[in-house]
Amino acid sequence: MDSITKAGSPNLQQTIDNVAAAFSRLKGIKEGLVDAGPTGGIQFDEWDWEVGVGLYGFLRRAIAANDRRAINDLVDWYSWQIKRGIPPRQINSSAPMLPLAILIEHVDRPDFRDLVMDWADWLVHNLPKTEDGGFQHVVKERLNEGELWDDTLFMAALFLARAGAHFGRKDWVDEAVYQFMVHTRYLSDPVTGLWYHGWTFVGRHNFAKAFWGRGNAWITVAIPELFSLVPDLDEKDKRFLTNVLASQVRSLKSLQRPDGLFHTLLDDPTSPVETSATAGFAYGILRGVAAGLLPAEDRIHAERALAAVLEQIDGEGVVHGVSDGTAMGHDLEFYRRIPNLPTPYGQALTMLLLTEVLLQNEGKA
């Protein structure tokens, strides 16, 4: 990917800053990860999954660069959020806990450590579970009784895995890995390797049987990330999940458009193209290749996706071509009708991708 990343490296950090600033504007906040303010350089007001994704990329960059100012900005942000009161616990509000579970390795904050331990214990013992012990996809809007969704693995299971690795809690790591297994059982299609958006134990079906783009992207991101977050993952688990990822990526390569983008419904070329999924696929493939989970030749598909994502970023840092918030659809037409518009999560996934490219350029990934 030298032709893309190396040529654009001088401007890559500026692009990331622009995307981050646009992220803040989309969430109704004046400043973001660029300018200093009451909580340092991070002014995201909400504690939510979109912010969690963005902060994860920001933290990875800060640690790789040994940027103490950026790390202190994160400390200030988490301190402020804890002081003002964190929202009720559910799947999506668990996403900002992943950066925090890594941050405690770099700062001496007993209150941060206590929160990480308490939240991990809550996921294991108090979060509602489905049949077979899956993490029920509880969100602030609804309980989603008996439902498994593919984005749960990134939002909650990765945090639990990292917390377990940090505190030597093999039971937490085992539970996180089990969530990957049970979600694979009910959401992964054995024919294509692609993932359905959701499964319900109440009706015992996969809803619309939609191979939803962004949902699949969370899987492409989550599996390599699990390997990174838990370096001593059991070999049998690594073997299984490597094959799950390879099977999915094999189909993704055949479904990528010539311009590098993917569709909202991956196997439906009449559905809209979708930038956030494309960013997630590029990130996951880059991470998978770097970790040796995917063959080096898969990198060309990440290059094409990266080029396509860069084309979707305007001069103000706004990422275009992102599908609006996507609840569970009961028919495929539901997904086809979802409009594309700028969204905070489109910005966050793009920030995650561009930060990974920057780290790989610098040899720090």
Give tens-digit pLDDT for 106-138.
999 999 999 999 999 999 999 999 999 999 999
Residue 188, both tokens: 């992964």
Long-range Cβ contacts of 191-195 (<8 Å, 24+ apart): 192/251, 192/267, 193/244, 193/246, 193/247, 193/248, 193/249, 193/250, 193/251, 194/248, 194/251, 194/252, 194/266, 194/267, 195/150, 195/219, 195/248
Q: What is the pLDDT of residue 28?
A: 60
Q: Tell me the per-residue pLDDT of 50-108, one tens digit each, with 9 for 90 and over.
A: 999 999 999 999 999 999 999 999 999 999 999 999 999 999 999 999 999 999 999 99
- Does residue 77 contact residue 39 with C-beta atoms inside 8 Å? yes
Q: Tell me the per-residue pLDDT of 274-285, one tens digit each, with 9 for 90 and over.
A: 999 999 999 999
Q: Tell me the per-residue pLDDT of 293-348, one tens digit each, with 9 for 90 and over.
A: 999 999 999 999 999 999 999 999 999 999 998 999 999 999 999 999 999 999 99
| Residue 202: half-sphere exposure toward Cβ, Cα within 13 Å | 10
Q: Which of 129, 328, 57, 52 is nearest to 215 (CA)?
A: 328
Q: Tell me the per-residue pLDDT of 26-55, one tens digit each, with 9 for 90 and over.
A: 876 544 444 434 444 676 788 999 999 999
Q: Tell me the per-residue pLDDT of 226-239, one tens digit each, with 9 for 90 and over.
A: 999 999 999 999 99
Q: Is the pLDDT of residue 3 over 90?
A: no
Q: What is the pLDDT of residue 32?
A: 41
- Does residue 128 contact residue 136 with C-beta atoms inside 8 Å? yes
Per the document, the length of the chain is 365
Q: Is the pLDDT of residue 225 over 90?
A: yes
| List of domains in the chain | 2-361 (1.50.10.10)
Q: Which residue has the tokens 């668990």?
A: 94
- C-alpha 319: how far from its chain's center? 16
Q: What is the dihedral of CA 294, 298, 301, 303, to 10 degrees?
A: 90
Q: Tell me the per-residue pLDDT of 249-264, one tens digit each, with 9 for 90 and over.
A: 999 999 999 999 999 9
pLDDT average, residue stretch 165-191 = 98
Q: What is the pLDDT of residue 132?
A: 98
Q: Is the pLDDT of residue 219 over 90?
A: yes
- pTM higher than 0.85 for the full model? yes
Average per-residue pLDDT for the chain: 93
Q: What is the pLDDT of residue 34?
A: 41
